[in-house]
Amino acid sequence: RPIYFLNGPNLNLLGQREPDVYGRTTLADVEGACRALGAELGLEISFKQSNHEGQIVDWVQEARGTAAGIVINPAALTHTSVAVLDALNSFDGPVIELHISQVHKREAFRHHSYVSQRADAVMAGFGVHGYELALRHMAQLLG
């Protein structure tokens, strides 16, 4: 069963958007790196991005019974979405919450995460390298 990588609003602009905060690597580059590492680890990957909260909820629901685990960068939905949290609470496998930037060093509104109520692990400030680290940890968790 695949590992779902779910990416929220504005992450389609990764590499162009606030490069001083998020770096110059694109989301397509990140996906490529995850696929390469997944092949090495023998893990299938399903990599998705949407700007729409309902689409993220739909993908989390789809993951039920389909995905072995979820790595999610909910982006701004982290700080606003009870719906994404509720959806994740319906999923049985491991959930890793990932932020490219170190959110606790940033604005106060980024310090609270609804998703952290459910996440088994939370990452922030590892840059885009966090995606590969999350995949390695997922491999460990899934044994």
Q: Is 92 annotated as a binding residue?
A: no
CA-based nearest residue to 81, from 131, 4, 9: 9
In three state form, how does the secondary structure of 38-88 look? HHHHCCCEEEEECCCHHHHHHHHHHHCCCCCEEEEECHHHHHCCHHHHHHH
Among 34, 71, 75, 88, binds ligand DQA (CB under 6 A): 75
Among 25, 49, 78, 81, binds ligand DQA (CB under 6 A): 78
User: How many residues are listed for the chain in this entry?
Assistant: 143
137 is catalytic: no
Q: Annotated catalytic residue: which of 4, 99, 114, 131?
A: 99
99 is catalytic: yes
Residues that bind ligand DQA (CB under 6 A): 10, 73, 75-76, 78, 99-101, 103, 110
Q: Residues annotated in the binding site for substrate, as ranges?
A: 73, 79, 86, 100-101, 110
